[in-house]
């Protein structure tokens, strides 16, 4: 069936959702970006050099990065394995790292480890991290909301960090200073 040029991608997605169809918007967009960036990398390296780095954030990553998922039709494992070469990165968020494919988990360079009560989840992170965090099991288990450990090859040890809620940061920020505009001489201005 030929695509209707009068229907936008967004319109088609909404229509399919209204019809009760499953629509993988993130998969579609990620495939489109990865294809474009990888083609440009191969065909015009100078243009590719000027392309921005794209980070794909994937919530509930265990749903699409598990060992049981179809790797041929699933673009996210490809991004995890080879995306960085094309300036396309993957930020996978999960509360169940034990459900991620081991090979894919080994592709991640940085872990932001929040509190994990499940010992299997802690063990898989300890074995997958490129940095030795094997002694940090008790700390990982007792991290409070917003506390995390950052494990990355660039640091000699896991670095503790505090992650603030975006809404709290925005609410606490001071409003920008008011700008005074010049008022033309023939216009009256009322000032409180």
Position 185 scores a pLDDT of: 45
| pLDDT band, very low/low/confident/very high, at 53 (cuts 50, 70, 90) | very high
Position 70 scores a pLDDT of: 65
> In this structure, how many other beta carbons lie within 10 angstroms of the beta carbon of residue 64?
20
- Give the separation between CA 39 and CA 11, rounded to whole angstroms: 27
In 3D, which of 83, 112, 79, 75 has the Cα closest to residue 95?
112
Compute the average pLDDT of residues 158-164.
88
| pLDDT band, very low/low/confident/very high, at 186 (cuts 50, 70, 90) | very low
Position 181 scores a pLDDT of: 52
Tens of pLDDT along 16-38? 878 887 666 788 889 999 999 99
**Does 137 have pLDDT greater than 70?**
yes
- List CB contacts of 95: < 8 A, sequence separation 6 or more: 116, 121
């Amino acid at each position: 069936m030929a695509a209707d040029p009068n229907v936008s991608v967004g319109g088609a997605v909404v229509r399919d959702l209204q019809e009760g169809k499953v629509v993988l918007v993130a998969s579609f967009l990620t495939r489109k970006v990865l294809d474009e960036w990888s083609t440009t990398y191969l065909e015009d390296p100078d243009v590719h050099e000027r392309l921005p780095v794209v980070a794909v954030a994937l919530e509930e990553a265990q749903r699409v990065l598990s060992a049981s998922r179809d790797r041929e039709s699933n673009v996210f494992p490809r991004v995890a394995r080879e995306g960085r070469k094309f300036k396309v990165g993957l930020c996978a968020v999960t509360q169940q790292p034990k459900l991620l494919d081991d090979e894919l988990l080994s592709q991640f360079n940085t872990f932001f480890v929040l509190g994990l009560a499940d010992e299997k989840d802690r063990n898989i992170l300890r074995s997958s991290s490129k940095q030795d965090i094997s002694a940090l099991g008790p700390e990982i288990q007792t991290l409070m909301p917003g506390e995390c450990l950052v494990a990355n090859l660039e640091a000699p040890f896991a670095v503790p960090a505090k992650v603030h809620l975006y809404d709290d940061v925005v609410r606490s920020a001071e409003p920008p200073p008011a700008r005074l505009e010049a008022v033309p001489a023939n216009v009256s201005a009322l000032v409180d």
